[in-house]
Amino acid sequence: MRILVTIASRHGGTWGIGEVVASTLRERGHDAELRAPEDVTDLTGFDAVVLGSAVYVAHWMPAARDLADRLGAQLAERPVWLLSSGLATQPAASANSPHEIRDLVERIGARGHRSFHGRLDRSVLSFTERATISAARAREGDHRDMTAVARWAEQIADALAPVPA
């Protein structure tokens, strides 16, 4: 199957998660293409989609939300999985619970949403981002579990595997 993996990422941490998803799908025999949401104008030619975003102050990034709004009808026509990546030191369920996810899952019929811990490098953050992170008492470092990301992508690959006739 041809699968679009589209990831909104401000500082590259969530993009890295998307790279693992796309690579794992390829290893499992699918044709997976990784693109930023702002580079996606149409879903024609894709059989399934993995749509993800970094989470900032309990919201997905605007580029991911915009893609879901622009292409919602097309997303609803194919299997879709959602992923979020947020504050590295908070429990994944609470740190990566963007307000728009429940509505988005229902609107497009997503097969699921998975939250992953993120990566925090204060040196690349703006002043406002550093203030927000300080208030949240987040720990610096790479807290992404790429093994868990790959396992999740394997589940997607298996769900999309052709059923023998």
What's residue 162's pLDDT?
64
Helix (H) or strand (E) segment spanning residue 70: helix 62-70
Comparing 21 with 86, the larger pLDDT belongs to 21
Distances in Å between the alpha carbon of 51 and those of 61, 113, 121? 12, 9, 24
127-154: average pLDDT = 74
Out of 3.30.365.10, 3.40.50.360, 3.10.20.740, 3.40.190.10, which CATH number does the structure's domain 2-158 have? Answer: 3.40.50.360
What's residue 44's pLDDT?
97
Which pTM was predicted? 0.83
Q: Residues with Cβ < 8 Å from 21, sequence gap 6 or more?
A: 5, 32, 34, 50, 52, 83, 149, 152, 153, 156
64-85: average pLDDT = 96
**Could you read off the pLDDT of 82-109 as tens digits, one per residue?**
999 976 544 444 444 566 788 899 999 9
Q: Where are the domains of the chain?
A: 2-158
Weakest-pLDDT range from 37-46, 74-83, 92-101, 144-153? 92-101
